[in-house]
Structure 1
Amino acid sequence: MYNICEGQRIYLRNIELNDAKLVAKWKDEIVMRKMSVGLNTNISYENQFQDIKLSIEEGEELYLIIALKDNNEPIGYIRINWLDENKEMAWLRFGLGSHRQEGYAKEGLKLIIDYLFSIGTHRIDAEVLMFNYPSQGTLRSVGFLHEGTRRQAYYDGEEYVDVFVFGIVKE
């Protein structure tokens, strides 16, 4: 297990194959489905295992687990995909499976932003569904700006909804 960075209450470590069951559980929760992965998305242990395996084998992204320092409990994930081969532009996704609204996502995002900027990343993008107010607030609290709206870019199973585009650049 390799820790990417450590904060006051959490650390970020590389995802492992044995995290698949927990990630599948998180992503299958109704709140996570509604806010990010989609109500009609098939979530299973098998497809999460394969997704994690592919991520590890290809090594083209950072797929990290957010874990509590005091007991090593995994509570969420942060995923970074590179938008260019020089790793100067990143696309961020994140989710907490437990301990929501306790400041852990904010702490995790601060850690990954500092880490990415320290390795030469210039810009980080994130997309959030228009009704996902908690994630919008978390992104704003760590310096992301709402840069635009992709109108009716996501179908939530009942209607098309807007997707808000957020970004932060290294100053």
Structure 2
Amino acid sequence: MDNLQAAHFLIRKMTADDLNIVLAWRNHPDIRRYMYTQHEISMEEHRAWFERSSQDSRKHLLVFEINEKPQGFVNITEISSGRVADWGFYIAPDAVKGTGRRLGKAALEYAFNNLNLHKVCGQSLAFNERSIQFHHGLGFQQEGTLRDQHYDGENYHAVICFGLLSNEWQPEGRGQ
């Protein structure tokens, strides 16, 4: 992570100019295998999703940059009037070690400080150990397990549910 120490980090709103790179990340086999929908997404489907989502004030599509180079995507969707939101994310498959943690911290800072959220919720397929450890590392509490919740076309998988309250968020001291 030493090469990230002096880097400049930014989280910004996704634009149409980001469509190609975000789609390439999303369709990468190492990303796609952990998603609820695992088919390869076409540019037409991706563009339609972006246009729909961009019109929805509850959805916040964000790109995480390191030294002005896109390195990850975050989707924060407000699910209630009580300032509660779900999040999802992925990083560039070739991102350097430590990028995910930096993305997580920047996204949560945005969620709690810019969007003034009370709670951020996450989900992970039970076989995605890295995502489970990632959530715990950022301070999320495991709030439940939805047994056999997701069917991938061949097998059922449990979904692990996480939550982080704004008063629990501690950006400093959660690893750099």
Distance 1:8 1:153 in 2: 40
* Equivalent residues of 1:26, 1:32 under 8 A apart: yes
Compute the TM-score of the two structures, normalised by the length of structure 2: 0.83
Which residue of 40, 46, 53 corresponds with 2:51? 53
Residues 7-42 of structure 1 show CA distances to partners (whole Å, capped at 9, x for unaligned) of 954211110112112122111111211112433x35
- Stretches of structure 1 that go unaligned for 5 or more consecutive residues are 1-6
Distance 1:56 1:152 in 2: 32
Q: Is 1:103 the equivalent of 2:98? A: yes
AA aligned opposite 1:106: R
Q: CA deviation at 1:164?
A: 0.4
Q: CA deviation at 1:140?
A: 1.0
AA aligned opposite 2:49: D
Where does 1:108-127 land on structure 2 (aligned, <5 Å)?
A: 108-118=103-113, 119-127=115-123
Q: CA deviation at 1:98?
A: 2.7
2:25 maps to what in 1?
A: 26
Which residue of 87, 95, 99 corresponds with 1:92? 87
* Equivalent residues of 1:76, 1:98 under 8 A apart: no
1:3 maps to what in 2?
A: none
Compute the TM-score of the two structures, normalised by the length of structure 1: 0.85
CA distance 1:136–1:9, shift in 2 (3 Å): farther
Q: CA deviation at 1:101?
A: 6.2
Number of matched pairs:
161
Distance 2:20 2:153 in 1: 25
Q: CA deviation at 1:145?
A: 1.3
- Stretches of structure 2 that go unaligned for 5 or more consecutive residues are 1-5, 168-176
Q: CA deviation at 1:99?
A: 3.7
Residues 64-98 of structure 1 show CA distances to partners (whole Å, capped at 9, x for unaligned) of 011112xx221210100001135x10101011123
Provide the aligned C-alpha RMSD in A.
1.9
1:44 maps to what in 2?
A: 42
Identity %: 24
Distance 2:29 2:37 in 1: 9
AA aligned opposite 1:24: L
2:140 maps to what in 1?
A: 144
Distance 2:13 2:72 in 1: 12
* Equivalent residues of 2:28, 2:93 under 8 A apart: no
